[in-house]
Homo-oligomer: A and B are copies of this chain.
Amino acid sequence: MTNESRIAAPRLAAFVTRAFAAAGLPEADAKIIAELMLEADLRGSDTHGVIRLPLYVRRIRAGGINPQPNIRVVGERPSAALIDGDNGMGHLVMRRAAHLAIEKAKVTGIGWVGARMSNHAGPAALYATMALPHDMIGLYFAVGSNNHLPPWGGSETLLGTNPMAVAVPAHDEPAIVLDMAPTVAAYGKVRLKAQRGEPMPVGWMIDRGGKPLTDAKRADDGYLLPIGDYKGYGLSLIIGILAGALNGAALGRDVIDFVKDTGKPTNTGHAVAAIAIESFMPAEKFKRAVDAVIRDIRASRRLPGVERIYLPGEQSHAKFLERSTGGVPMPKPLRDSLDALARELNVPPLE
């Protein structure tokens, strides 16, 4: 085995598939999840792709995720539906939800599908972008899988880094894809700083006294800060309501930490919506207008020292192109954890 730093996506997907199959998932489901996880890695979501595989498997083996769920629509109207994920993998639940939202949008112009009893589903962009090939705008909201954010002025973490994504198709340009959490820093970035022994910038977290917290190793004693102060708090709450409360999923005090409580269902909630552009104008005209906005922004005057102005999702798109041919980065710690997983599951390791 060479200590390679890149690995071709299909080989990695094959490994993820056999790991899930060994953990008890039907082969077809394992393959679907593997493809979505690889898409995350290809798009540069290094903290939300294959790196999560050992945790997912740990949760499945601990009884915290149902490997063979009966995912079903439990409520339906022409433009809306509610899906019960039966505690299955979030990727399966939200792929189904996105497809249903798109089908509804084809008929009525808009589709909005909520889900409860789901699980972590990887990066938000995965499901918002499913609308793009259908000439639709995609929206996605989720309740984060643990609470790290207090209300503004508070010191109890009742809210999460609840993510949202919006994907807008362009004609010749890459789609605009905004994928963000309403906190200044993602918790994954905090963990990375702690691993590396580096200080965090002021503004990422505060301690229990409300003072800036820069020692990432003390993150458990502090709180993430929302973007725009009370605005990010409001966004997190609203996203939590749309994705969680509206669907009968967990929000606030009911959210468990999916890393620590591996044996319990999270009752994770999400929502995905699709807006058919043809309801408002010809899709081609819209996409050309989006191209024009993209080009105006990219070519606009820059502040001193700024080399390039990026559109939301543009850097992910560039990574996708580069990694699709060059392979997915495979740092040694990730490789080691996947090798350990292979031994644990008694499946052939990553080749």
Residues of A within 8 A of B (CB): 75, 77-82, 107-112, 114, 137, 150-156, 158, 166, 168, 176, 178, 180, 182, 184, 206, 209-210, 227-228, 230-235, 237-238, 240-242, 245-248, 251-253, 273, 275-277, 279-281, 286, 289-290, 292-293, 296-297, 300-306, 308-312
What residues on B are CB-neighbors of A180 within 8 Å? 228, 231, 234-235
- The answer on a CB contact under 8 Å between B108 and A252 is no
A236 to B48, alpha carbons, bound, how many Å? 25
Instruction: Choose one: B111, B154, B241, B246; the contact of A281 (CB below 8 Å).
Output: B246
Q: Which of A246, A248, A276, A296 has the most CB of B within 10 A?
A: A246
Instruction: Choose one: B110, B178, B232; the contact of A79 (CB below 8 Å).
Output: B110
What residues on B are CB-neighbors of A248 within 8 Å? 280-281
A151 to B306, alpha carbons, bound, how many Å? 12
- The answer on a CB contact under 8 Å between A154 and B293 is no
- The answer on a CB contact under 8 Å between B302 and A154 is yes
What residues on B are CB-neighbors of A137 within 8 Å? 241-242, 246
- The answer on a CB contact under 8 Å between A151 and B300 is yes
Closest to A246 in B: B280
A235 to B276, alpha carbons, bound, how many Å? 20
A22 to B236, alpha carbons, bound, how many Å? 45
> Contacts A82-B279, A178-B235 hold; do A152 and B309 have CB atoms under 8 A apart?
yes
- The answer on a CB contact under 8 Å between A154 and B301 is yes
> Contacts A78-B107, A176-B238 hold; do A158 and B302 have CB atoms under 8 A apart?
no
* A230 CB, min distance to chain B CBs, angstroms: 8
What residues on B are CB-neighbors of A158 within 8 Å? 296-297, 300
A64 to B237, alpha carbons, bound, how many Å? 39
- The answer on a CB contact under 8 Å between B151 and A184 is no
Q: Could you list 30 A-B pairs, sorted by A, with CB under 8 Å? A: A75-B279, A78-B107, A78-B108, A80-B276, A110-B112, A110-B273, A137-B246, A151-B300, A154-B301, A155-B300, A156-B300, A156-B301, A158-B296, A176-B238, A176-B241, A180-B228, A180-B231, A182-B228, A206-B303, A209-B303, A227-B228, A227-B231, A237-B293, A241-B290, A242-B275, A245-B289, A246-B275, A246-B280, A247-B281, A248-B281
Instruction: Choose one: B108, B245, B305; the contact of A77 (CB below 8 Å).
Output: B108
A79 to B280, alpha carbons, bound, how many Å? 11
What residues on B are CB-neighbors of A81 within 8 Å? 279
A78 to B108, alpha carbons, bound, how many Å? 5
> Contacts A77-B279, A176-B238, A280-B75 hold; do A293 and B245 have CB atoms under 8 A apart?
yes
Nearest 9 interchain pairs by C-beta: A227-B228, A80-B109, A77-B109, A80-B279, A79-B108, A153-B306, A78-B108, A234-B312, A210-B303
What residues on B are CB-neighbors of A210 within 8 Å? 303-306
